[in-house]
Structure 1
Amino acid sequence: MGDFHFLRPWWLVALVPLAIIVWALRRASDAATPWRGIVADHLLPYLVQGTAVKRRLGPWWMVVGSALLAVIILAGPAWKREPSPFADDVAALAIVIRISPSMQTEDIAPNRLARSVQKVHDLLGRRGGSKAALIAYAGSAHLVMPPTVDVEIIDSFAGSLDPKIMPEEGDAAGEALKLADQTLATVGGGSILWITDEVSPDEVAAVSLWRSKTHTPIRVLAPVSDEAALKDLRSHTESGSSELIQLTPDDSDIDRLERASRFSAAAPMEGGDRWQDSGYWLTPVLVLLVLAFFRKGWMQSLAARS
C-alpha cells in the first residue's frame, strides 16, 4: 500500500464544507443549544428531550457516513496499476526495404521489389490495427511513413517505391536499421522486418555494430532465388537476435513473419499503463447506506430535531 494515493485529490477539498455543514446542522439540531449558559450543563440531559439519544447510531450518522464515503469515491483511491485500454496487443513493426536496381531483378516474378511489396501487404493485413512504419534506403535512409495503423497508406507508399526516386544509390543498411530502431522507440518498442537481397561488404561492419547496441528483434525477408546469394545474405544478417526467411511463392513466409512480429511485446511507454481507480469497490457500501433512507420513518427523528 506504499503507492496509495488519490487520482482526483481535489475532491478531498469537499471535506471542508462538509465538515462545516455537519457542524452547523449538529448545532442547529441540538435542542440544548438555546439553553446553554442558562441551565447548568449537568441538568440539561434531564430537562431537554433529545440530548440523551443524540449519540445513538441513527440517520444523522448515516448521512455523514454516506457523504464522506461519496467524497472518497470521487477522489479515486488507487494503489496499483493496470494496462491502458488503448495499449496495442501486438508490438509495432518497422519495415525496412532496400530500394536498389538489384531489387528489380526478375528472378522472382514480377520482380524482387514488387513481390516484396505484395508480401508487406499480406503481412499488414494479418496484423489488424497494429502500428507499422515504413523505411526505405539505398545510399541513404528515409522514414517514408512513421508508425501508423493505416494499412492502406503504407501500401500506397510501398507500391510507389522505385530506385529512380532515391536520392543516391548505394547501401545504407546500418543507417536504415538505426533509423528503424529510433522510430520504434517512439511507440514503445517492437520488431523490425528488413527486406533486402544483399548487404554490401562496406555495410557488414555497420550492421554488426548496430546489432551489438540494440536488443530489437529483427527478421530478414530475402527476395532471392539463388542459393549462393541466400547463403551469402544469411552470413551477413543472421545472428542470435535475427532470423532470415526466404521469400516463398506461397504464404509460408508470411506465416513465419506473422508469428515472429507478434512474439515481441511492446515495451511500456511512460503513460502506457495507468493507476487503477479502486473507488468503485466502495460503491456497493454507499448504495447500502443510501438504501436505509428509503425505510419509512427512518428520517423522522432527524427531521424532528432539525
Structure 2
Amino acid sequence: MFEGWQYFHFLRPCWLLGILAAPLLYFITQKRLGADYQWRNIIAPHLLEHLKVRPAASAKFRPIHLISLFIILAALALAGPAWQREPSPFSEDKAPLVIALDLSQTMDAVDIAPTRLERAKLKITDLLQLRQGARTALLVYAGSAHTVLPFTDDPALLNMYIESLSTHIMPSKGKAPQKALKLAASLLDKSEIPGTILFFTDGISGKYAAQFTQYMQTSRNQIAVLAFGTREGGPIQTGKNRFLTKNGRRVMAPFDYEGLHTLSQKADIPVIGSTVDDNDVERLQRSIQTHLQAALAEDESLRWRDNGYYLLFPIVLLAALWFRKGWTLQWRA
C-alpha cells in the first residue's frame, strides 16, 4: 500500500528534539499547578491529602494533553518525514513499460482457454487499463524480435495492434527471448527514467539466465515475466478444431517451468503465473511502480519530497479544539 517506506527518514532530524518539550511541559505543569505545590506552605501535608478534590472521570483530557500532542505533531512535521524523491519536472511520474509478447507456436496451446496467446492479449489489455497515461511500447518475438509500436500513452492504439497479432505473422520460427531483451533494452535506453521489460510467455530457457542476469546487474531497468501454461502442457491449435499433429498424434506444447524457475532464482526476476482474475496484472503494476520509486530513491540528483504537510491536518484539528464551547483552562490532570 505504501511504496518506498524502506527509504523513510527525516530531512531535518534536529527538530525531533522538540518532542522532548512535551513530557517536560507536562511534568512542570503537573508539578507547579498541582494542589500539593500550591498549598504546601499553607496546609499541613497530612491534612492536604484529605482536602484535595479529585477530578471527574470525564475531565481526564485537559489542555495540557492537547498542548503535548500539538508539540509532538509539530516537531514531527518540522523534522520533514520523507520516503520518496521529487520526480524531475522534465519527466513523467509513471514508469515506462516495454511489453515483449511471445508469438512462438507454443503460445497457441489450449491448456489455458481460449489459448495461451489469447489469454496473454487479454492480460495486456487489463494491464493497460491500470496504466492510464503511462508510456508503453510493444514488441513481439519468436525466432526473431520486432517492434510493433514504440512508446505511446494511447491504450486504444495499443489494443488495436494487439488484436491483430498471431503466431502466423512471425517470419522465423523458434523462441529467442534474448533478441527480445536486446530490442527492449534499446527502446528503454532512450527513456529518461527507469522502466520495466515485461515478458508475456510460456517459457524462457534457463540457458539464457546468464544474459538476463547480466542485464539486471548492469541496468537501471527491471525484467518481469507473466507466465502462461500448465505443468501438463496442452495441444497446439492450428485452426478451428484443428491441432498440430506428428505421426498421427497431437503435439503437446510444454510449459517451461524449470526454465522460468532458473531465471527467477539466478537473475532475481519476478515470475508471476497468470490468474483467472486481475491479481496477476495488479501485482505486476505494483512491481513496476515500486521499481520506479526504488530507482528514483537512489538518484542523488533528485530532492526528497517533504511529506510533513500531511501532519498539518491533525495539527489544525487540535488547534480548533481551543475554540470548543465550554473548554476549561484547567491544566491540572
1:234 corresponds to which of 249, 260, 269: 260
Match of residue 198 from structure 1: 203
**1:54-73 → structure 2 map (5 Å cutoff):** none
Structure 1 SS opposite 2:147: strand
Which segment is superposed worse, 180-189 or 138-147?
A: 180-189
Give the Cα separation in 1 of the matches to 2:98 and 2:173.
Answer: 22
Do residues 126 (structure 1) and 152 (structure 2) align? no
- Structure 1 contact 174–210 (Cα < 8 Å) conserved: no
Question: 2-side partners of 1:223 and 1:216: how far apart?
Answer: 23
- Paired residue for 1:246? 273
Residue 179 of structure 2 is aligned to residue 175 of structure 1: yes
Contact 1:147 1:187 in 2 (8 A): no
Give the conservation status (yes or no) of the 8 Å contact 1:92–1:130. Answer: yes
Runs (5+) with no aligned partner, structure 2: 1-85, 233-253, 303-333
1:83 Cα deviation from its structure 2 partner? 5.1
Contact 1:97 1:137 in 2 (8 A): yes
Deviations 1:145-177 (A, max 9, x none): 111101111112122111111110112211111
Aligned equivalent of 1:108: 112
1:212/1:123 Cα in 2 relative to 1: closer, same or farther (>3 Å)?
same
Secondary structure at the aligned position of 2:185 is classed as helix
TM value normalised by structure 1: 0.56
1:151 aligns with 2:131: no
Give the count of matched residue pairs: 190
CA distance in 2, matches of 1:92, 1:204: 24
**Cα distance change of structure 1 residues 130 and 250 upon mapping to structure 2, 3 Å threshold:** same
1:179-201 Cα deviation digits (max 9, x unpaired):
11121121223111111102246
Counterparts of 1:190 and 1:83, CA distance in 2: 14
CA distance in 2, matches of 1:251, 1:126: 10
Higher mean C-alpha displacement, 204-213 vs 178-187: 204-213
Q: Which residue of 2 aligns with 1:90?
A: 94
Point out the more displaced range, 258-267 or 110-119.
Answer: 258-267
Structure 1 residue aligned with 2:325: none
- In the alignment, is the contact (CA less than 8 A) between 1:171 and 1:203 conserved in 2? no
Per-residue displacement from partner, 1:91-123 (whole Å, max 9, x unpaired)?
A: 101111110110010111110001011001011
- The Cα of 1:241 is off from its aligned counterpart by 3.9
SS at match of 1:232: helix
Q: In structure 2, what is the equivalent of residue 42 of structure 1?
A: none
Work out whether residues 218 and 241 of structure 1, in 8 Å CA contact, stay in contact via their aligned partners in 2.
no
Distance in 2, matches of 1:101 and 1:185, equals 30
Sequence identity (%): 37
Q: 1:258 aligns with which of 269, 281, 285?
A: 285
SS in 2 for 1:224: coil
SS class of match (2:255)? helix
Asked if the contact 2:206–2:260 (Cα under 8 Å) also holds between the matched residues in 1, the reply is no
Structure 1 pair 169/236, CA: closer, same or farther in 2 (3 Å)?
Answer: farther
For residues 201 and 259 of structure 1, the distance between their equivalents in structure 2, rounded to whole angstroms, comes to 26
AA aligned opposite 1:163? T
The verdict on how the C-alpha distance between 1:154 and 1:143 changes in structure 2, with shifts beyond 3 A counting, is same
TM-score relative to the length of structure 2? 0.52
